[in-house]
């Protein structure tokens, strides 16, 4: 007897996590997979590009929700996804990560009595001001099966009272995607297009509301960025939130004055993987980039006060430095001194996490 699994993707970070899962499910006769795209982040060009590059099958259903406040977006996803679940009657709903789609679809599943699976469970930053942290905590609290990327996640869930039988340490599905596509990314022409040589530039992503919605914090980050870009070109695909905030916060002119800070439109997965794999350092406030750079063995400077991915600091190349320009520049000096090279890769980040998840779900049926 087969098990019908609806997997949910809502935003671009989800696509890299869903891709290996859909491949692993499709390879097993015991699993009937179905993919729902909520459209939480929907840019037709970028979504189509990610799906094509990562080999993700076209969604069986696209809810087309679009942007909105947290409350509006969550409510609209719940209303639309409930109709899908009622019509399809899955055995399992699988959600990944920590976006609004994750908790919205999770709530629908459990209220309809459907088993809920959370992939990338147990991650905690300790900062409840982050919307993602609330989504993680709430999703984990209602999930029937919790798949963890690192040991810290298992320990967090145990501390929160989740019974061991529901928790599985399987590794990191996003690293499955990175390892599968690393060779393919080398064919990208983006470095030639931008006139870049290996190790001669930095990459940067900055989008977290706590960093880019506040003039004082953003300005402090720019104090450090201004000095680093004077020594090394910085390549920065701009998040729409960040780009929209620059004129509102009165920072557009300052950014444009940084001649070595090269602002790009968002780029595809393979192009950005090529850039990060060849960068001297990555500056970020993202979660996933902390993990990817650890596997790529590229130094990462994380401009946040906390991280939900502590293994990247414990064994990886990641330095968690906050938003103080003095600390950011001190981390840059360490990078230049080569102090963050040749680190380890966390346990089970071996490209087989999705296979382990598929095996567990198939055998649990």
pLDDT interval class at 11 (50, 70, 90): confident
Domains 3-172+349-364 and 183-336 equal at CATH topology level: yes
Contact status, residue 205 vs residue 303, Cβ threshold 8 Å: no
- DSSP letter assigned to residue 29: T
Which residue is listed with tokens 């899955």?
Answer: 90
Angle between helices 353-364 and 12-26 (to 10 degrees): 60
pLDDT interval class at 342 (50, 70, 90): low
11: helix, strand or coil: coil
**Which residue in the list 41, 70, 207, 239 is annotated as catalytic?**
207
Q: If we measure between CA atoms, which residue out of 101, 266, 270, 96 comes closest to residue 177?
A: 270
Q: For the whole prediction, is pTM greater than 0.85?
A: yes
CATH of 183-336, one of 3.40.630.10, 3.40.50.2000, 3.40.50.300, 3.40.640.10: 3.40.50.2000
Extents of the domains making up the chain: 3-172+349-364, 183-336
Query: Which residues, in sequence order, are CB contacts of 113 under 8 Å at separation 6+?
Result: none
Q: What is the mean pLDDT of residues 137-143?
A: 98
Residue 12 has pLDDT above 90, yes or no: no
**118 catalytically annotated:** no
DSSP per-residue letters across 70-115: HHHHHHHHHHHHHHHHHHH--SEEEEETTSHHHHHHHHHHHHTT-E
What is the pLDDT at residue 111?
A: 98
Distance CA(246)–CA(232), nearest Å, equals: 22
Q: If we measure between CA atoms, which residue out of 114, 102, 118 comes closest to residue 157?
A: 118
pLDDT interval class at 66 (50, 70, 90): confident
pLDDT digits (tens, 9 = 90+) for 234-250: 999 999 889 999 999 99
Contact status, residue 58 vs residue 81, Cβ threshold 8 Å: no
pLDDT interval class at 297 (50, 70, 90): very high
pLDDT interval class at 193 (50, 70, 90): very high
pLDDT interval class at 46 (50, 70, 90): low
What is the pLDDT at residue 44?
A: 62
Query: Which residues, in sequence order, are CB contacts of 183 under 8 Å at separation 6+?
Result: none
Contact status, residue 20 vs residue 47, Cβ threshold 8 Å: no
Distance CA(185)–CA(188), nearest Å, equals: 5
Cα-based torsion angle of the residue sequence 49, 54, 59, 64 in order, rounded to the nearest 10 degrees:
-40
Which residue is listed with tokens 């999930």?
Answer: 143
Is 3-172+349-364 assigned to CATH 3.40.50.2000?
Answer: yes
Distance CA(222)–CA(202), nearest Å, equals: 15
Which residue is listed with tokens 């939480």?
Answer: 40
């Amino acid at each position: 007897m087969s098990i019908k699994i609806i997997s949910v993707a809502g935003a671009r970070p989800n696509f890299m996590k869903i891709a290996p899962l859909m491949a692993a499910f499709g390879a097993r006769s015991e699993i009937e997979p179905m993919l729902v795209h909520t459209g939480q982040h929907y840019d037709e060009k970028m979504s189509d590009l990610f799906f094509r590059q990562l080999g993700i099958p076209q969604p069986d259903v696209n809810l087309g929700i679009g942007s909105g406040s947290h409350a509006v977006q969550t409510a609209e996803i719940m209303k639309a996804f409930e109709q899908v679940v009622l019509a399809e009657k899955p055995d399992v709903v699988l959600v990944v990560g920590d976006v609004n789609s994750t908790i919205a679809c999770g709530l629908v599943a459990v209220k309809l009595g459907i088993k809920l699976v959370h992939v990338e469970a147990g991650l905690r930053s300790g900062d409840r001001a982050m919307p993602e942290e609330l989504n993680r905590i709430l999703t984990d609290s209602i999930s029937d099966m919790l798949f963890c990327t690192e040991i810290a996640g298992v320990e967090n869930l145990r501390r929160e009272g989740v019974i061991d039988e529901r928790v599985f340490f399987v590794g990191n599905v996003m690293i499955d995607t990175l390892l599968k596509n690393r060779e393919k990314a080398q064919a990208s022409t983006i470095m030639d297009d931008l006139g870049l040589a290996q190790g001669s530039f930095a990459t940067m992503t900055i989008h977290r509301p706590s960093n880019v919605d506040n003039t004082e914090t953003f300005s402090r980050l720019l104090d450090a960025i201004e000095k680093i870009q004077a020594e090394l070109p910085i390549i920065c695909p701009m998040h729409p939130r960040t780009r929209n905030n620059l004129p509102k916060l009165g920072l557009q002119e300052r950014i444009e004055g940084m001649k070595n800070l090269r602002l790009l439109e968002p780029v595809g997965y393979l192009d950005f993987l090529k850039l990060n794999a060849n960068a001297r350092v990555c500056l970020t406030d993202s979660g996933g980039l902390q993990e990817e750079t650890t596997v790529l063995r590229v130094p990462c400077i994380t401009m946040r006060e906390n991280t939900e991915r502590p293994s990247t600091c414990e064994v990886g190349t990641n330095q968690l430095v906050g938003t103080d320009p003095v600390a950011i520049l001190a981390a840059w000096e360490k990078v230049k001194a080569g102090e963050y090279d040749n680190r380890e890769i966390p346990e089970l980040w071996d490209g087989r996490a999705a296979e382990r998840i598929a095996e567990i779900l198939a055998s649990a049926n």
